[in-house]
């Protein structure tokens, strides 16, 4: 609250502005804590490395119709692969902590009423990321592998290279996870005033065409059912983004009116 001294209204205390070296020190601290989180996540995932590789990442190939055969062509291939996958899994497990550290770094530049959203930002960013990864793993990858394993000549065996297989699986999971961050991206763009709900509604038809093209590009073969299966969640994400932008802009407008 504002204070009155001799009937003179004093403004509220504002935090001390950080110097360049303060920002640098804060960045270093946040990077260290992010790396600590990744290291802990990697250590935990290393303990469950066999379950991650055999029970999770190889499961789509095993359950494909017909099953895919995976081969290793290098003496150290599996060792390097395990190390790479354990690190990726550790980075994903520690993602909420990484998002939190990034948010804490930019927090001093925000208004006090915006800083209270930190846990909501961390939660929803992580939620949409893992939701997208789950969609890629449980929907896209099984359909893609079943199509690839059954396509082509019966005289050609589909024996997939180890690195190529895991690169495909992890790439699909990460790509879907990033795409599902669309509502959070819309939130930030709305906060800084780049987009609004009217803009997204105006170009909804264009967005539908883009969504159909994206769905056709990432689904294997001419299977219309698979393309629709992918396009529907993407369109729902677009509609969610409109709601997010509308609510964000409305709150920002009310706050600006109240400050006048």
pLDDT tens string 198-256: 888 888 899 899 888 888 777 765 667 777 888 888 899 999 999 988 887 777 676 66
Residue 1 lies in a domain: no
Residue 111 class from Cβ within 10 Å (0-12 exposed, 13-18 middle, 19+ buried)? exposed
On whether the CB atoms of residues 180 and 135 are closer than 8 A, the answer is yes
d(CA 93, CA 40): 9
pTM to 2 decimals?
Answer: 0.78
d(CA 168, CA 136): 11
Instruction: Give the structural domain span for 232.
Output: 181-252
In a shared domain, residues 149 and 37:
yes
pLDDT computed for residue 94 by the predictor: 92
Q: Which of 179, 194, 213 lies at the terminal end of a domain, its last residue?
A: 179
Rounded (10°) CA dihedral 18, 107, 100, 238: -140
pLDDT computed for residue 16 by the predictor: 52
In a shared domain, residues 41 and 117:
yes
In a shared domain, residues 27 and 145:
yes
- The C-alpha angle 20, 184, 169, rounded to 5 degrees, equals 105
């Amino acid at each position: 609250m504002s204070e009155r001294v001799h009937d003179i209204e004093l403004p509220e205390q504002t935090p001390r502005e950080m110097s360049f070296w303060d920002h640098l020190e804060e960045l270093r601290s946040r990077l260290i804590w992010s790396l600590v989180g990744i290291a802990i996540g990697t250590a935990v995932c290393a303990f469950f490395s066999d379950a991650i590789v055999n029970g999770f990442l190889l499961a789509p190939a095993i359950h494909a119709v017909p099953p895919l055969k995976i081969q290793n062509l290098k003496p150290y291939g599996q060792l390097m692969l395990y190390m790479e996958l354990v690190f990726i899994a550790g980075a994903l497990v520690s993602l909420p902590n990484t998002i939190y550290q990034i948010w804490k770094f930019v927090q001093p530049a925000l208004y006090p009423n915006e800083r209270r959203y930190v846990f909501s930002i961390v939660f929803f960013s992580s939620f949409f990321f893992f939701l997208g990864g789950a969609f890629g793993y449980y929907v896209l990858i099984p359909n893609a592998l079943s199509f690839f394993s059954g396509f082509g000549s019966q005289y050609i065996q589909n024996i997939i290279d180890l690195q190529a297989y895991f690169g495909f699986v992890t790439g699909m999971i990460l790509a879907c996870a990033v795409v599902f961050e669309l509502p959070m991206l819309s939130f930030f763009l709305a906060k800084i005033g780049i987009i609004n709900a009217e803009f997204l509604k105006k170009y909804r038809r264009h967005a539908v065409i883009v969504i159909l093209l994206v769905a056709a590009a990432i689904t294997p073969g001419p299977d219309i059912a698979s393309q629709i299966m992918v396009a529907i969640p993407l369109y729902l994400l677009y509609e969610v983004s409109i709601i997010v932008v509308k609510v964000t802009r409305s709150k920002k407008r009310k706050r600006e009116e109240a400050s006048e």
